[in-house]
Each structure stands twice: as C-alpha cells, then as structure tokens.
A and B are shown apart, each in its own frame.
Chain A
Amino acid sequence: MDPKFEKGGKFWWLHSTIDAFESFLNVPGTVTEKGAHVRDAVDLKRIMIVALLAAVPAALFGMWNVGYQHALATGAAPSFWPDFWFGFLKVLPLYVVSYAVGLFIEFASAQIRGEEVNEGYLVTGFFIPLIMPVDVPLWMLAIAVAFSVFFVKEVFGGTGMNIWNPALVARAFIFFSYPASMTGTGTWIALRKGEALIDGATGATPLSLIGDGLSSLEGTGIQYGTGFWDLFLGTVPGSVGETSVIAILLGAFILIWTGIASWKIMLSSVAGALFVGLLANAAGLSDIPAYYHLVMGGFAFGTVFMATDPVTSAQTETGKWIYGFLIGTLCILIRLFNPGYAEGMMLAILLGNTFAPLIDHVVTERHLSRKLKRARNR
C-alpha cells in the first residue's frame, strides 16, 4: 500500500475506506492473535453475499415485471427482453441511489469510529429497492435511505447493533412522510412521460383492492388475470421485488439451506397469517380465503427476507416461533382491520423487531429459572 495511506501518512484519515476496498478484493493476511489459532473460512462478507444472492431471483423477476406491467397498462404487446430492459432501466436508478447514499454514510461512520467498514449494507442496500414502488421519486428514496442508515443503524453502533430492520424503516419513512408516493394508484406502474393508463387498467395493487372483498379483485383490471396463480407467479403490480412468490421461495430455499435465515420464523409467520385469516373467515369478517394473504403484497418477501434478519429477529429458538407467529398475525390483523394501511407486513415486522428483545428476555428468564429449579431439586 502507498505509505501515504499508512499510519501517520497524509491520507491516514481515509484508512477505513482503503481497508474496505482492500479487504473486498483480498482476504487480508491477518492472523489470529489469541484463542483459537485457526478459524473457519466463513466471514460476514460471505454470509451477506449469499443472503444477497438469495434475493436476486426476486430482483430479476421484479425488473421484468415492471416492464410487463408497463406494457399491460399502456396496451403494448408484452415481450420478454424489451420488458426486462424497461424494468432494468427503471430499477437501476433505485439501486444507484440506495447504494450511493447508504454506502456513503456507512463509510463515513466507519471512518469516524475508526473501524472497518461493515458489509451489512450490501444486503440492506439490495433489499431497499425491492420493497419500494418502482415510481418512488429518487430524492425521496435518498432521504429515506439516509434517515434509516443514520438513525436506525449508525446511531446504535452499526451492523449488528440495530433494533429495527433498516430496509423496512426506509420504507416506513416514505410511507409516513410521503404517503402519496407509497399508496394509491399512481405509483406502482412505471410510465414514460406522456403515457397514460389505457382503459381497463388500474394502477392499484391487489392488496388495496381487496379491502372491498375478493369479488373486487376479479375483473377489476387486466393486470389481475385469474387471481391466485397470478398472485403466486407475481404478474401483478406491487413493490419491485415482492410480487413473485415463486422467486421468493427460491430465495427462501437458499436462505434455509445455508442456515442464514431461520425456517422457524418463516413457518410460524405463515402459521400466524393463516390462523388469523381462517379465524376471520370463520367469523365472517372477511371473504378472502386465508391462503390468499400469503401470496398478496409483501407478506412473502417480508417473511423470507425481512422478518428473518438475524440481527433484528428473536435470538432464541423458542423466541423465533413466537416472533414469527406474532408477525404473521399482526400482518393480517392490520390488513383486515385497518383499511388505511393496505400493507400490514412492514408494520408487523417493525413491531416484531420491537418486541424481539422482550420475547427473548422472557424465553431466557423462563429457561434459566427452570434450570435453577432442576438444579435445586437434585
């Protein structure tokens, strides 16, 4: 390395940044100082890159779907590569803004703290565009990313220390600060200047329609096709990466197989959603079949990629069951009983994050008191 970047050199203040690029390219030649003399080859970079890869199918599908929805809404004939290219060009700026703003703050905070740059934002920055409407204004995205990285992550001490999932907080920030850009019909379908929706097309997501009952979904707009299977496949309007359950399941498979995300959280979240959905059906509160909730809106994406964030989710095994179930139930409760918030998943997970430490506290306390009792009885 250039001596200017070494301690005492002119650019020493940039060392965190230089280290970050250096260790991105090369696994450094650092050796163990004490304790275990050899270490597992895995590091956080590897875990993060695999988590990112798991979301790639959802991202690619989302890009294509942006183009496909555009074609449907403007009456153009859908065609695979042009649609994908259209979506790619629409989503790319979201990625540029997300990474540029987020990484800038990450690098700056690492410099200030004198630590190595954490790789956590690689994943957060990849998820953020996937949970945004494609037409979200870029300046809004920039502010939301800056808010969430700074106030939700760095203020708490950086990767591993945050209480809430930063990607979701970025979404919540826009949701509450600029509701017009996050709800309604004007934001889910990307249009070029001068283009307008053709007759029979609507910019609403299935979720916002379904408040009026399942019947409102069928035949509403050409986007919705035949219902469940279109929702499952993901050929409906929605946030960029959230629509295709198939692509998300592919990611879920990778995450569970590699052990990065907890299947317990995913399973109990699904169970919680079905539980409330069925209860609502039985009580006559809703005529939407419970399983529809699993394929609509951000439920699948949230369950697989957001609720399972190892930092903000429950840590204990029992806690994970409770935490996941809580998120599933909360999500459907919000969807059913608060028509103002068509999407319940974001708030459900943020609430779940809030309660995760409490859940863990109760679980560990109960476990330890049982253990003490056993020891006393012996």
Chain B
Amino acid sequence: MPDIYKIKRGLDIPVSGNARLSVSKMAGRPVAVCPDNFKGLVPRLLVKEGDRVLAGSPVVSDKNHSEILLTAPVSGTVSRIERGDRRKLTAIVIDPDGLYGKAIFPKRDPSSLTDPQVREALLESGLWPFLVQRPYGIIADPGVTPKAIFVSMFSTAPLAADTEFTLAPDLTYIQAAVTALGTIAPVHLSVKSEDSAFAGIQGAFVHVFKGKHPAGNVGVQISHISPICKGDIVWTVSPEGLASIGRLLLEGCYDVRRKVAVCGPAAEDPAYVEALPGASLAQVAGFGGGVPDGLRIVSGDLLSGTSHPAATGRLGFFHNQVTVLKEGTSKELLGWMRPLRLNQFSADRTYFSWCLGKGRRYDMDTNLHGGPRAFVMPDSYYSKVLPMDIYPVYLVKACLAGDIDKMEKFGIYEVLPEDMALCEFIDPSKNYIQDIIAKGIDLMLKEMT
C-alpha cells in the first residue's frame, strides 16, 4: 500500500477553460532551443546559422559544466540565432525537416545500467536538463549524488494537463526511466489516487497525495515526504521528463514531444495539442493567423507560467500547458464597493464566491484587482493556501530584507516560487511574492557560491 497524504490547506481556483480530452496533431514550426528555460545554465553556443542538426544533436553547452548539453528537439536546419540585451543568447531557431526522434543513440536495457552509465546517457542526449536540483530549482550538477529523486506524476495547478490522459501510453517508458534513475538515488513517485495508472510503477516509493492545489507541486510533496534541510540536495523530474528519458533508453531517440493542454478562459478551443518545447505559443494555442489584441498567452499554468509578448512567446521546456487569458485592462466602476460582485472570484470571505456553488467557473482575466500595498494580513492568512511547514510572510520579508540567515531559517531551501504562487494569488496587498522569492533564491545562489 502506498503512503497516503491528505493535504488540507490549499485552493483550487475555479477558472474556466478546461481542456477537453482530445489531441490534435503537432503544432508549431519552427521550434527553438531557449537557454533561458534552464535556471543556472550559462550557455555556450555550439552551432551556427545554416548548420544541419538531428534531434539530439548538441546546440548549446553549459560554460560551468561542459558535459551538460542542450540538444535540438527536432532534426532540421539552424535558421536563426536570436540574441537579447547585451547579446544574451535567447533562442536557437531550428527549421524542422519533419523527422522527429530518429534513433541516433544506442538502445539500452534500463535494468542492467549502472549509475555512471545512466548519467552518461542523459548527458550526451541532452535530457540531463530534465533533472532539476532543489534547493534553488537549478539544473542538476552531474558530479553530485542527491539524497533522493522526486517526481510528481500529476499537477493540481489551475486547468493543468491531465497526465493520466496524456502519459498513459508512455507507461513502459516511465517505468524504464524510474528503473534507470533508481541507480542514482531512491526515486519517490507521487500520484493523485491509489488507482492512478502510475501507482503500479516498480522500483520507486509511491506516495498518494490528495487535496487541493498545491498538493500536486513536487515541492509540497517533498516537504511532506522528507523536508529539505540545509546541506541536502534532491532532484526532481517532470513526468514528461520521465517519458522522454524512457524513450531514449528503450528506443535510442531524443523525443521531447508532449501533449500540451491549451486552456484558459480566452482559449478558442480548449483541447490538447501535440507540441515540442520551443514551439511558438501563438501557433500551439491555435492563433496561426496572428494573436488578437488584448490576449496573453502563458506558457505553463496561470499561477506561475511565463508570458512574453504574444508574437514571440515559446513553449517552455518544462511546460505541458498553455493558458490563454484576456488582459484585464478595463476599469471596474465601484468594484470593491459592490456588495456582491458575482462575476469575480475571491477566496476571501468578504465576497460571496464561497456560496455560489462548487461547480461555478469564472472567466478570469489578468487584472490585478487593486494596488500594491505593504503586507497587512497576518501570516495565517497566507499559510492557509501553503501546505508546508513554513511561515510564508516571514520568509517573504526575509527575502525582501536580503537577510540570508533568516531566509535559511524560514525555509528558502524548501520552496520555489511556484510553491508560493497561491499566496501571491490571494494576497490582498497585491505583492509579487513569486518574484520576491525568486530574487531571494538568486541572492542565495550568489552568496553560497
């Protein structure tokens, strides 16, 4: 029997636009490799415009760990190198020739591999960056053996892709990846119910997490299974990462295709689309002919996804979801004074969303619903949506003050911005809490190295 954790704190945001369970064909050409997706990576360019690449050919390496490679997700021609401010490398654009995942690596038997062989296979193929280190959420150091590897097989984020639907066909690959990663460190797999398709995976500790968002966040799960203390290093992998690793081992190909949930109140047809990371968000979201004004296309979920100006946004390496939102630029007359305000969702009892029926869905937009203020509400106001053993406001204030000792004490090792996203959502003072945490983590990284 797997361990069952019932998470009491949290919040499921009732936003409209859930993706229906149907998958349409590959969307998005060309695709790009975006070094910005990988925290902690300092990119060194290995290709030039006009080079031909195969799916799995290296295009970027890490300056600090030259064995860490980013590889092309598709075979084709490097058509453009994009650079941002101060010539920072932002994207290597590849024009695909239509061949995905051709086998260019040896096939391997996961059960006979050793730790160094698994590391080598992941490094040479460019799948290593799927391994994310905690604390800090940076690319894993190949020279380190972690305490454990954690995988959350499901997401509870608003409108999240249903991995039971998208990854069920990949069960054998996921099993292979778990077996292989098990040679490096114990693998902990979290599923959403006992009868999940992934509950029967062998060679891993299977845990069941039940509850509202963020019960599906791997950070929350780690804090319940085995909290990260100072000096601990653990790795996390996304479920899509496991599928790709398994495919690499069993089929010998680099294949990071995934089923992406296109969702959100402003999505034209919320459904699943097959796509590669680095594909144009506009195309993935079905706006081939140009994105209408006043829309925001987010790679990832609406709480912690990333957005760019609509025309240039690309699907993030770790994302399996694209959320389309309306920009909330219109003013609302007497908004906060209206007694009912039935069309707006609030988790706060000063509004009446709580009594309007559980099934109700809201067409939310990106309006901030207020102005920035200092923290007024107490810690407990925020911790009711953070099922971790930390004091959220104390941690945020420690980050604001840049006090390393306090940040350490109040749990900076345990969180990534995404874990605090709901605190940001409900914050009546409208602080950018995830940004504050991200800056705190950057400060830790700077001071600790």
Residues of B within 8 A of A314 (CB): 378
Closest chain A residue, CB of each to CB of B345 = A41
Q: Do the beta carbons of B351 and A42 come within 8 Å of each other?
A: yes
Residues of B within 8 A of A315 (CB): 378-380, 391, 393-394
Report which of A31, A40, A118, A368 forms a contact with B428, defined as CB distance below 8 A: A40
Closest chain B residue, CB of each to CB of A23 = B371
Query: Does any Cβ of B come within 8 Å of A33's Cβ?
Result: yes
Bound-complex Cα distance A213 to B323 (A): 70
| Best-surrounded residue of B332, B368, B391, B393 (most CB of chain A within 10 A) | B368
Q: Do the beta carbons of A41 and B380 come within 8 Å of each other?
A: no
Q: Do the beta carbons of A38 and B426 come within 8 Å of each other?
A: no
Residues of B within 8 A of A159 (CB): 373-374, 376
Query: Does any Cβ of A come within 8 Å of B239's Cβ?
Result: no
The A113-140 residues at the B interface (CB cut-off 8 A) are 116, 118, 120
Report which of A37, A39, A118 forms a contact with B296, defined as CB distance below 8 A: A37
Query: Does any Cβ of B come within 8 Å of A371's Cβ?
Result: yes
Query: Does any Cβ of B come within 8 Å of A49's Cβ?
Result: yes
10 pairs of residues in contact across A and B, judged by CB atoms under 8 Å: A26-B332, A28-B331, A39-B424, A41-B344, A45-B337, A158-B374, A159-B376, A310-B378, A315-B380, A364-B394
The B339-396 residues at the A interface (CB cut-off 8 A) are 341, 344-351, 353, 364-381, 389, 391, 393-394
Q: Chain B at the A interface: mostly helix, strand, loop or mixed?
A: loop
Q: Do the beta carbons of B428 and A43 come within 8 Å of each other?
A: yes
| Best-surrounded residue of B323, B367, B370, B410 (most CB of chain A within 10 A) | B370
Q: A35-B432, A41-B344, A43-B430 are in contact. Are A160 and B379 (CB under 8 A)?
A: no
Q: Do the beta carbons of B374 and A27 come within 8 Å of each other?
A: no
Q: Do the beta carbons of B328 and A43 come within 8 Å of each other?
A: no
Q: Do the beta carbons of A36 and B425 come within 8 Å of each other?
A: yes
Q: A36-B424, A38-B366, A39-B368 are in contact. Are A160 and B331 (CB under 8 A)?
A: no
Query: Does any Cβ of B come within 8 Å of A44's Cβ?
Result: yes
Bound-complex Cα distance A368 to B412 (A): 13
Interface residues of B (CB under 8 A from A): 13, 15, 226-227, 229, 296, 298, 302-305, 307, 323, 325, 327-337, 341, 344-351, 353, 364-381, 389, 391, 393-394, 409-410, 417, 421, 424-430, 432-435
Minimum CB–CB distance from B420 to chain A (whole Å) comes to 9
Q: Do the beta carbons of A40 and B348 come within 8 Å of each other?
A: yes
Q: Do the beta carbons of B229 and A39 come within 8 Å of each other?
A: no
Report A11-42 CB contacts with B as 1/0, cut-off 8 Å.
00000000100010111111111111111111
Bound-complex Cα distance A157 to B409 (A): 26
Bound-complex Cα distance A34 to B417 (A): 11
Query: Does any Cβ of B come within 8 Å of A375's Cβ?
Result: yes
Query: Does any Cβ of B come within 8 Å of A222's Cβ?
Result: no
Query: Does any Cβ of B come within 8 Å of A257's Cβ?
Result: yes
List 12 extra interface pairs beyond A27-B331, A41-B369, A315-B393, CB under 8 A: A36-B302, A41-B344, A41-B353, A42-B350, A42-B351, A47-B348, A49-B337, A116-B372, A159-B373, A260-B350, A262-B378, A368-B410
Residues of B within 8 A of A29 (CB): 328-331, 367
Bound-complex Cα distance A37 to B57 (A): 35
